[in-house]
Structure 1
Amino acid sequence: MINIGIAGIGFLGMIHYLACQRLNRVRVRAICEQDPVRLSGDWRSIRGSFGPQGRMMDLAGVSRYARLEEMLRDPRLDVIDICLPPAAHAEAAVAALRAGKHVFCEKPIALQPADAERALAAARRAGRLLLIGHVLPFFPEYRYVYHAVATGKYGRLLGASFKRLMAEPHWVPDFFDPRSTGGPMIDLNIHDAHFVRLLCGRPRAVQTVGRLRGTVPEWFQTQFFFDDPDLAVTLTGGVIRQQGRPFTHGYEVHLERATIVFDFATWGKQPVVATPVTVLTDNGRVLRPKLTGSDPVEAFVAELNEMVRSVRSQEPSKALDPELARDALLMCQRQAQSLARRRAVRL
């Protein structure tokens, strides 16, 4: 049995709690939350841009702590699952590692690369696993294209374009605070930075154009530059100010013998798959592979299952690798610098 303590009961803390209920030989033994209402099990105030909304939860048998240091002293806990605001991630991870716990931390690993390095160093000193929850590779649409590239099924990767945008989340009052949440570059589009890093390797430079809100990117387009000058990869991301399209994401990935396309958006409250994962082959065929896992919570179940596998085997996870998470954070920081300076920036 893997015993988990969840630190932070916001939207993702709730999603992780629900996902853990679907795993074998895994139990949430404790939660930590400063809000006494949520600590009591009343999660009705929780909302997010997808998936279930908050409800009353039966927390019978779950220990409840108002302070993280109290939960870290619980000897039953094997893993601390950090779902706190991004500004608290690195500090909480270091504290949990020093307490002898394995750490599974929601993205981003930190708000600053120096703090990410501090968490990595703490994991090495403690001899414990630090795993970072970048969930995108576990969504079936992204799992499919990653597998196609990794196996060389359709030949060499030639390039790709990614997009991920959301309506401004007014329910997160500090969303554009660079010291707290970091805005859409860190909170949203780090998903794509991580996926680009996983799929294409580490870029040598970025060039970003767009608009800022204060010092924080609001909407942007990025060109990633790699050692291979022919590898062309772009990203469009950020927020729009109107609420009619709460979320959209997708990609077009070019391979030697195929192009793979996916496009999804929520219009009002209606989710619309404009283009399900579609493979355009070099002999003119249009293929629609059958994918499983339409429930978005299932991606988090798969992600947490990978975390459990890593903890049980004491082996690292490629998808949850903290060094890749650090690189994704650095890629976001360099994109923000490029946008502000209006020129390309090296990593």
Structure 2
Amino acid sequence: MTLAIVGMGFMGATHLKAAAGIPNLKLAVVSRDDKKRKGDLSSVGGNLTGSDNQVDFSAVRTFSSFPEMLLDPEVDAVDLCLPTALHESFTIEALRAGKHVLVEKPMGLDRAACDRMIEEAQKADRVLMAAQVLRFFPAYASLKQWVESGDSGTIRTATLRRRCAAPGWGPWLKDKAQSGGGVFDLLIHDIDMALYLFGAPVSVTATGYENLEKQIDVLVGQLYYPGFTVNISGGWHHEGYPFSMEFTVVGDNGTMEYHVRDTHPSLFQAGTPVSEVAPDGSIDGYQAEISYFLECARKNEQPVKCLPVDSARSVALALLLLESRTRHGEKLLCQI
């Protein structure tokens, strides 16, 4: 199978590095940048993982344009690592060309765009999946198993946080017309994780502040479920602020906590020494995500672990929280 990664910014380089470790996968790259097509990724930056400055592209098919790549019958699937505003049009074009599509998060700028993408995938009988990579990170997979198995007992509260400096790379991120905004782009991970773990809330509230000139775009949100509340917070802070993601989930049978600096989550239980929760055979989350998508594409089966309709609901919930923020914390019913 041949996978074409479209866009060689930070996420494209991250996906390239992960995909290079997948056995029996042929790679292609689409970039308008001559240097990047030659494997020079020295201009790429990011907040989570770096990329090697020079990459050997001798065995990689390279294309200077998206339409050129779509005409190549050897390309089976595309991995779209582009500004959010381009997701809908590029996804639909790829699906109509008979390609399976992995599209970076957020899936689209609004629910309507996501629904149109899903409809096209159904018409084309191709696999569509949004890259909600947190579902594949080992620490969050351990949390999912703990909650879903019932080992947690009844959930009493949960907190999901994610913060970083306003990005110095990818200037499109600071353009709301292209990205939907920093909080939307960043916290979509935690919003999706809340839906993955607990389903849709009954209602939401959110407060926060946005001033992109001062490098501030923050949100503190509450998702109200019957009997418990999920807190989601974070966003962009000032230059130099380190990337951070974490969770704390409290159930009757214990508290599971994780910070990105930790190797594994910790489980705290009454009368028991704290223990690490290490998943079996865990691999890099990006590699796991791409491998799962490719397996679904090979079988032409729906990605049940990360359905596109779930990603569309995450977009809708993110926008609802932002609406509550603009209304200074007004409680809004969640109908997504």
TM-score of the aligned structures, taking structure 1 as reference length = 0.90
Spell out the pairing of 1:206-217 with structure 2 (5 A cutoff): 206-213=204-211
Residue 83 (structure 1) aligned to one of 75, 81, 100: 81
| Structure 2 equivalent of residue 224 of structure 1 | 223
Q: 4+ residue stretches of structure 1 with deviation over 6 A? A: 214-217, 292-295
| Structure 1 equivalent of residue 153 of structure 2 | 155
Q: Which runs of 5+ in 2 are unaligned?
A: none
Residue 334 (structure 1) aligned with residue 320 (structure 2): yes
Give the Cα–Cα distance (whole angstroms) in 1 for the partners of residues 324 and 148 of structure 2: 30
Give the Cα–Cα distance (whole angstroms) in 1 for the partners of residues 12 and 242 of structure 2: 21
CA contact (8 A) 2:126 2:297 kept: no
Equivalent AA in structure 1 for residue 333 of structure 2: R
Q: Which runs of 5+ in 1 are unaligned?
A: 265-271
Deviations 1:107-127 (A, max 9, x none): 111112111111011011111
Residue 248 (structure 1) aligned with residue 244 (structure 2): yes
Residue 195 (structure 1) aligned to one of 193, 203, 207: 193
Alpha-carbon shift at residue 61 of structure 1 (Å): 3.3
| Structure 2 equivalent of residue 35 of structure 1 | 33
SS in 1 for 2:285: helix
Deviations 1:216-274 (A, max 9, x none): 98111000123x2x12111111011141x32111111011211111123xxxxxxx44x
Alpha-carbon shift at residue 313 of structure 1 (Å): 2.6
RMSD between aligned residues: 2.1
| Structure 1 equivalent of residue 333 of structure 2 | 346
Deviations 1:190-219 (A, max 9, x none): 000110010010123210011022799811
Residue 289 (structure 1) aligned with residue 277 (structure 2): yes
CA contact (8 A) 2:9 2:170 kept: no
TM-score of the aligned structures, taking structure 2 as reference length = 0.93
Identity of aligned residues (%): 28
Alpha-carbon shift at residue 294 of structure 1 (Å): 9.0
Spell out the pairing of 1:267-306 with structure 2 (5 A cutoff): 272-273=261-262, 277-291=265-279, 298-306=284-292
Residue 320 (structure 1) aligned with residue 309 (structure 2): no
CA contact (8 A) 1:111 1:186 kept: no
Equivalent AA in structure 1 for residue 274 of structure 2: V
Count of aligned positions? 332
Alpha-carbon shift at residue 291 of structure 1 (Å): 4.9
Distance 1:52 1:294, change over 3 A: farther
Give the Cα–Cα distance (whole angstroms) in 2 for the partners of residues 346 and 177 of structure 1: 28
Residue 112 (structure 1) aligned with residue 99 (structure 2): no
Give the Cα–Cα distance (whole angstroms) in 2 for the partners of residues 323 and 302 of structure 1: 20
Give the Cα–Cα distance (whole angstroms) in 2 for the partners of residues 334 and 321 of structure 1: 20
Alpha-carbon shift at residue 156 of structure 1 (Å): 2.8
Alpha-carbon shift at residue 104 of structure 1 (Å): 0.9
CA contact (8 A) 2:13 2:51 kept: no
CA contact (8 A) 1:8 1:32 kept: yes
Spell out the pairing of 1:53-64 with structure 2 (5 A cutoff): 53-64=51-62
Equivalent AA in structure 1 for residue 292 of structure 2: E
